[in-house]
Structures are given as structure tokens and as C-alpha cells.
């Protein structure tokens, strides 16, 4: 079978090329003369590049046709290890007579770890000798060149020996640790119509958080995605060359892809392709530390994977290998629908158990009448830094998206002397996957039932209004939009002209302590409405009530008189009602 661009090619020419598969293998030849002559003949007839892959046993493994200046290299399943050569060499033609290898050729040599990459120059005139250049890997990010050589008089033994030398160099580097694991090299892709003024900036931060190294970004001006490849065919071809030249490992799309789109793009480019949702799920898989968090992330991943099984390409063949394929637990993602559905059911049952335990803890807090203040906001707005500043704790803080995944609770003392429980929640983001919101619903229940929300806005961001609206949308989905809320602008020390149309209750800097006292006063005042003052004479016979008041309330006065205790106690509304029942009022 002849791969690549065979459109308009006569069947007789394709048959001549296919006949090369039947040639007797020659282990002692870098490339047999018959193959050289046939490649040159077809190149002249079609003015297209021809590529042939030959194994170390001398067998032809693949033949492809390209255009007049490029040929698509197949993804041959011959790799014998990440630090070993593939076991095949590629010889391809250059119409026009230039045998020198291009940057794309050398990039393919490195990314595919070919035994060798050779370019056969095919001049227009048949009386001009055919020449060839050959390149080998000479170590990490280094290539060694041979040629130009006369294609009909190749030093076959020397060229084959150089393959062995390249293999030995790689093995030596592996043993000495010279070849270290590196971050995956990422290309970001999006549509201009859907990105506004700062295309792919947030996607780049997400990729960095996931551990990728962003090498380049591409944006296509297109109103609607192509149903098969998301991008237009011309853009797909253009990026194929860029992916080879830049040695890209992974392409990340800013929009959600279907399984079929993912498969088609991976086949066209030969690298892993994931979308924004897959990237966010991968970050959550890295960040989940608690048992509940790991269960919730795995559930979201399963729900994301299930409808994509028929279309997922190389992603499913590389489970556990890099960005977009990580899982939070020991069980890797399965490709069988029935097993995934069963796992989804098991996860939902386990999460329900954990949610019931969380509800019991919440009920105990309510009995103790400690008000809950939940920090909400766009990811990396500074919520964890603010938690540390208000509570004096040292929760993990990092200048990356989704640094906090598992909710944290800390007690804080307010200016009035009352206490409150401050809860730090996972940050929200634009296009937050619905499966993730559903999976984390039990955790985010803390937000829905909080007495007060503090909406933290990043004052240093140029998209504060957009971020504010994204958070509002998620709060609506959670049914928490009606909760009492303070809007707080953080990073005021970095603040530029703020793009926020909403009223601001406080401008602070969680990093420098600026405005923190004012914020505490605002929190205190906002919570005051949930308290009532009880004043009265409590008989000495009501010892249980006296203990209740000291346990549940903030005692302002407690003086022993002849007939009992004269008391002034501030109580939460629910405790005030309990007191009335205890006193029979």
C-alpha cells in the first residue's frame, strides 16, 4: 500500500512503487540501487517527494508520496524504547537537485529517533548524477551529517556502521544520565473568534501549570470549527510542518474537541492532541491530595472519556504517559465502555459516602454556631494567600493555576471577638468542565451553605470583569448566587486601571497586609445580622442553660446576683431560638 498524497496518480505508477515491497531484503546495503532509481523516476514523473522506510533487515517498511516540497512521515510502530533508535531509516527525494537536509528533516530524525534520515536529490535532467546527504543522531539535540554522496556509489558499510555508532552513543548517554526527562513541548491552538483580546494567554498558563513547555501558539481566524479536524485543511498541513520543525510533543486546543477530531488530528500530525478540558482534568489529577479529591477527579475523567471512546486515538494508546493521560489513583482509564460505566457507578457511591461524612461535620459546626466564610474567585486570584494572612496559617501557595484543589478550613478571630471558620475553595476558570463541577459538587457545597462569601478578584488582571462573570456563572450553577457576598479586590499593590463594573467592598493586598483590617471589619459587620443579643436574669437552678450560653454564645456580661446570673450574651439566630425553648419562652 502506498500512503500519502496519491490523488491523481496513475495506478500503474502505484503498482511500480508497491513492487518495491517484494524486493529481496539486503542487510548489507543502506539502500538498494533499484529503489534509488525507482524513487528518482517517480519523482521526475510526478514532481512529488517520495519517501521509503527501510528496516535494519533491509525490508521496505513503508512507501509514501508527498507534494513537491514535503512528504508526511508515518507513525511506524517500531520504537524499542524511549532512549533507543527506532530501527528504521528514512530515504526521501528532493525534487530539483538539492540533497541538503532541511530543518524539518532533522527534526523528524530526532522526534522519530530514526536510524538515519537521507535526502536523495533528483535533478530535472537524467544525465546529472543523483546525490544524497545522510544524517544521524549524534546525541541529545545533535545531528551528524554525511555527504553529499554519489547515490549510485554509496559507501554502504560505512553508512550502516554509523547507525551502530549512533545507537551506542544514545545508550552511553542513557547510562550516564545525560538524557534526562524534559517537559513536553507544547503547541497551543485556538480560534480567534472565541478568544477575545488575549488569545491563548490563559491556555499557556494552564499548560505551564500542567508541566508543559509552551514552544509556539497558532490562532486561526475562523467563525466555526471544522467538524472533522476543528481547523481548516490548509492550517492542518501548515501546522504539520511546524510540529516537525519545532519538535512538538503535544498540541493543546483551547476549545473542546470531539473524539473524532482528536483522532483525525493525531493521524495528521503524529503527536498527542488534547483539548482544554483534558488539560484542566490533568491538572486536577496532579493536584488532588485527599481521598475525596482523587475520587472526584477520577469521576470527572471517566465521564469525559466515556463519550469519546470511539474517537480517541493516540491518547488511549499512551495511558499514563504525560499531560492529558494522568490519573489520580492506581487504576488507569479503561477503554471498555461497560467497565467505565461500572467504575463511574462505584465512584459515585464512594463520593456519596464521603459527602455524608462531610455533611455530619458541617452539622456539628452548625451546632457550635461557628459562622462559615467561604473564599471564592477565579483561579490564582490569591485566595490561599488571603487565607494565610487572615488566619496566620501556612497553607500551600503557588503562583500557578489551581494551586489549591482540596478545600482548607481555618478559624479566624474577628474584631468583635467572635470567631468564624474561613474556607478556601478550588478556583474557578472560564470553560470549567461541567463534569468537574458535578464531580466536585459535594466539596463545593461548602460554598452554597456558607454564611458569607468573599469573592476575591485579581486586581492585577486585565480581565477582572470577565473573571467576575465566570465566577458568578459557576455560583449560579451551584445555587449559591443569593448568599451574602463581599467583593474584594486583591493584589492592590499591583493594581492597574481596574476593568470591573461591580461595586467593591474592599481593596486589599494579601501579600503586604494592606486593607486587611478593613476587610476583617467588613466581615464582622456582614456576619452581625446572624446574631441576637439576649439579656436577662438566669436563675441558679438553670445550670444547664448557663453552660449552654457559655458554650454557644459570646458572653458580654455574667454577674452573680442574689437571685441568679445577670447576663448579656450574643447568640447566633438558631441558638437564640434554642435558648427560648430551653427557657420556655
Check residue 381 and give its pLDDT. 86
Statement: residue 37 has pLDDT above 90: yes
* pLDDT category of residue 30 using cuts at 50, 70 and 90: very high
Q: Which of 24-28, 80-84, 144-148, 223-227 has the lowest mean pLDDT?
A: 80-84
For the CA atoms of 398, 399, 402, 408, the dihedral, rounded to the nearest 10 degrees, stands at 40
Same domain, 501 and 538: no
Least confident of 153-157, 205-209, 461-465, 514-518: 461-465
Q: What is residue 109's predicted lDDT score, i.e. its pLDDT?
A: 84
Higher model confidence: residue 295 or residue 171?
295
Of residues 185 and 85, more confidence is placed in: 185
Domain boundary among 176, 203, 227: 176
Q: Which of 176, 203, 230 is the last residue of a domain?
A: 176
Report the pLDDT value the prediction gives residue 555, as an integer from 0 to 100: 86
Q: How many CA atoms lie within 13 A of 535 on its CB side?
A: 2
pLDDT for res 316:
42
CATH number of the CATH domain containing 108: 3.40.140
More confident residue, 141 or 549: 549
Quick one: pLDDT band at residue 399, thresholds 50, 70, 90? low
Q: What's the mean per-residue pLDDT of the chain?
A: 82
For residue 42, pLDDT beyond 50: yes
* Range with the largest mean pLDDT of 40-44, 86-90, 107-111, 470-474: 40-44
Q: What is the pLDDT of residue 315?
A: 41
Mean pLDDT in residue range 90-99: 89
Q: Which residues are registered as beta bridge partners of 55?
A: 88
- Better-scored residue on pLDDT, 80 or 74: 74
Q: What is the CATH number of the domain that holds 488?
A: 3.40.50.300
472: CB partners within 8 A, 6+ apart: 481
| Res 144 pLDDT > 90 | no
Residue 465's CB is within 10 A of a number of other CB atoms, namely 15
Q: Give the residue from 86, 89, 95 showing the smallest Cα distance to 66.
A: 95
Does residue 566 surpass a pLDDT of 90? yes
Over residues 458-512, the pLDDT tens digits come to 888 878 888 899 888 888 887 777 788 999 999 888 766 677 788 889 999 988 8
**Is the domain of 517 the same as that of 410?**
yes
> Do 312 and 415 belong together in one domain?
no
414 and 555 co-located in one domain: no
Range of 101-115, 524-538, 555-569 with top mean pLDDT: 555-569
Which tops the pLDDT comparison, 118 or 401? 118
Give the total residue count for the chain: 585
Please enumerate in sequence order all residues whose Cβ is within 8 A of that of 232, keeping only pairs 6 or more positions apart, or say none.
Answer: 220, 222, 226
Amino acid 83: pLDDT: 60
Q: Do 141 and 214 belong together in one domain?
A: no
Of 513, 503, 512, 554, residue with least CA distance to 531: 554
Distances (CA, A) of 442 to 379, 394, 404: 19, 25, 16
Please tell me whether residues 453 and 474 are part of one structural domain.
yes
pLDDT at residue 39 above 90? Answer: yes
pLDDT at 172: 77
Asked whether residue 285 falls in the same domain as residue 350, the answer is yes
Q: Which three cell numbers stand for residue 407?
A: 478545600
pLDDT digits (tens, 9 = 90+) for 307-327: 776 544 444 443 344 555 555
Are 381 and 347 members of one domain?
no
Both 195 and 334 in one domain: the answer is: yes
- Point out the domain boundary residue: 143, 160, 176: 176
- Answer yes or no: are the C-beta atoms of 2 and 64 closer than 8 Å: yes
- Decide: 279 and 327 in contact? Cβ < 8 Å: no
Instruction: Say if residue 84 is in the same domain as residue 210.
Output: no
Which of 114-128, 131-145, 194-208 has the weakest average pLDDT?
A: 194-208
Q: What is the CA radius of gyration of the chain?
A: 33
Q: Tell me, yes or no, whether 140 and 256 share the same domain.
A: no
Domain that holds residue 265: 182-367
Beta bridge partners of 265: none
Q: Which one is predicted more confidently, 166 or 393?
A: 166
Instruction: For residues 387 and 517, state if they share a domain.
Output: yes
pLDDT at 313: 42
Task: Indicate the number of domains in the chain.
Answer: 4
Q: Give one word for 260, left, alpha or beta, with left for phi > 0 and alpha for psi -120 to 50.
A: alpha
Does residue 71 surpass a pLDDT of 90?
no
- 565: domain CATH number is 3.30.70
Of 188-197, 463-472, 539-548, the one with minimum mean pLDDT is 188-197
Alpha-carbon torsion, ordered 99, 103, 108, 109, to 10 deg: 60
221: left (phi over 0), alpha (psi -120 to 50) or beta: beta
Amino acid at each position: 500500500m502506498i500512503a500519502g498524497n496519491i490523488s491523481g496518480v496513475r495506478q500503474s505508477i502505484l503498482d511500480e512503487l508497491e513492487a518495491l515491497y517484494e524486493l529481496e531484503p539486503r542487510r548489507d546495503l543502506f539502500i538498494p540501487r533499484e529503489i534509488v532509481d525507482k524513487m528518482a523516476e517517480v519523482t521526475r514523473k510526478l514532481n512529488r517527494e517520495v519517501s521509503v522506510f527501510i528496516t535494519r533487515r533491509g525490508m521496505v517498511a513503508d512507501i509514501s508520496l508527498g507534494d513537491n516540497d514535503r512528504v508526511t512521515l508515518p507513525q511506524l510502530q517500531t520504537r524499542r524504547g524511549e532512549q533507543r533508535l527506532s530501527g528504521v531509516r528514512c530515504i526521501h527525494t528532493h525534487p530539483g537537485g538539492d540533497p541538503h537536509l532541511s530543518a524539518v528533516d532533522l527534526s523528524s530524525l530526532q522526534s522519530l529517533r530514526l536510524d538515519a534520515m537521507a535526502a536523495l536529490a533528483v535533478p530535472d535532467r537524467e544525465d546529472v548524477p543523483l546525490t544524497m546527504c545522510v544524517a544521524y543522531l549524534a546525541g541529545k539535540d545533535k545531528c551528524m551529517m554525511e555527504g553529499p554522496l554519489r547515490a549510485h556509489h554509496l559507501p554502504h558499510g560505512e553508512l550502516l556502521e554509523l547507525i551502530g555508532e549512533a545507537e551506542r552513543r544514545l545508550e552511553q548517554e542513557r547510562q550516564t544520565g545525560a538524557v534526562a526527562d524534559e517537559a513536553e513541548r507544547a503547541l497551543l491552538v485556538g480560534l480567534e473568534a472565541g478568544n477575545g483580546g488575549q488569545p491563548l494567554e490563559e491556555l499557556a498558563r494552564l499548560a505551564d501549570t500542567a508541566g508543559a513547555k509552551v514552544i509556539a501558539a497558532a490562532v486561526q481566524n475562523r467563525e466555526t470549527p471544522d467538524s472533522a479536524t476543528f481547523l481548516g485543511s490548509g492550517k492542518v498541513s501548515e501546522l504539520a510542518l511546524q510540529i516537525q520543525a519545532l519538535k512538538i510533543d503535544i498540541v493543546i486546543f483551547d476549545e473542546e474537541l470531539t473524539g473524532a477530531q482528536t483522532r483525525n488530528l493525531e493521524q495528521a500530525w503524529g503527536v498527542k492532541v488534547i483539548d482544554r478540558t483534558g488539560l484542566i482534568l490533568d491538572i486536577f489529577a496532579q493536584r488532588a491530595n485527599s481521598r475525596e479529591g482523587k475520587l472526584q477527579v477520577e469521576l470527572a475523567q471517566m465521564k469525559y472519556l466515556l463519550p469519546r471512546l470511539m474517537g480517541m486515538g493516540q491518547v488511549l494508546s499512551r495511558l499514563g504517559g504525560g499531560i492529558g493521560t494522568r490519573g489520580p489513583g492506581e487504576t488507569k482509564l479503561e477503554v471498555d465502555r461497560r467497565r467505565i460505566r461500572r467504575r463511574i457507578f462505584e465512584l459515585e457511591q464512594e463520593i456519596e459516602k464521603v459527602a455524608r461524612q462531610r455533611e455530619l461535620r458541617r452539622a456539628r459546626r452548625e451546632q457550635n454556631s461557628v459562622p462559615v466564610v467561604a473564599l471564592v474567585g477565579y483561579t490564582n486570584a490569591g485566595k490561599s494567600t488571603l487565607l494565610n494572612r487572615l488566619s496566620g496559617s501556612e497553607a500551600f501557595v503557588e503562583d500557578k493555576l489551581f494551586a489549591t484543589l482540596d478545600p482548607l478550613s481555618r478559624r479566624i478571630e474577628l474584631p468583635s471577638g467572635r470567631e468564624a471558620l474561613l474556607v478556601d475553595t478550588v478556583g474557578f476558570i472560564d470553560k470549567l468542565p461541567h463534569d468537574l463541577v458535578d464531580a466536585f459538587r459535594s466539596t463545593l457545597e461548602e460554598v452554597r451553605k456558607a454564611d458569607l462569601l468573599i469573592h476575591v478578584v485579581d486586581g492585577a488582571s486585565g480581565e477582572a470583569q470577565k473573571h467576575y462573570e465566570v465566577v458568578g456563572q459557576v455560583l449560579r450553577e451551584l445555587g449559591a448566587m443569593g448568599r451574602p457576598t463581599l467583593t474584594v479586590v486583591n493584589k492592590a499593590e499591583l493594581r492597574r486601571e481596574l476593568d470591573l463594573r461591580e461595586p467593591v467592598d474592599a481593596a486589599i493586598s494579601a501579600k503586604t497586609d494592606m486593607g486587611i483590617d478593613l476587610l476583617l471589619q467588613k466581615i464582622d459587620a456582614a456576619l452581625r445580622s446572624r446574631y441576637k443579643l439576649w439579656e436577662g436574669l438566669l436563675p441558679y437552678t438553670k445550670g444547664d442553660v448557663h453552660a449552654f450560653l457559655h458554650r454557644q454564645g459570646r458572653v458580654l456580661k455574667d454577674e452573680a446576683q442574689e437571685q441568679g446570673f445577670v447576663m448579656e450574651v450574643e447568640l447566633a439566630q438558631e441558638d437564640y431560638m434554642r435558648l427560648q425553648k430551653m427557657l420556655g419562652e
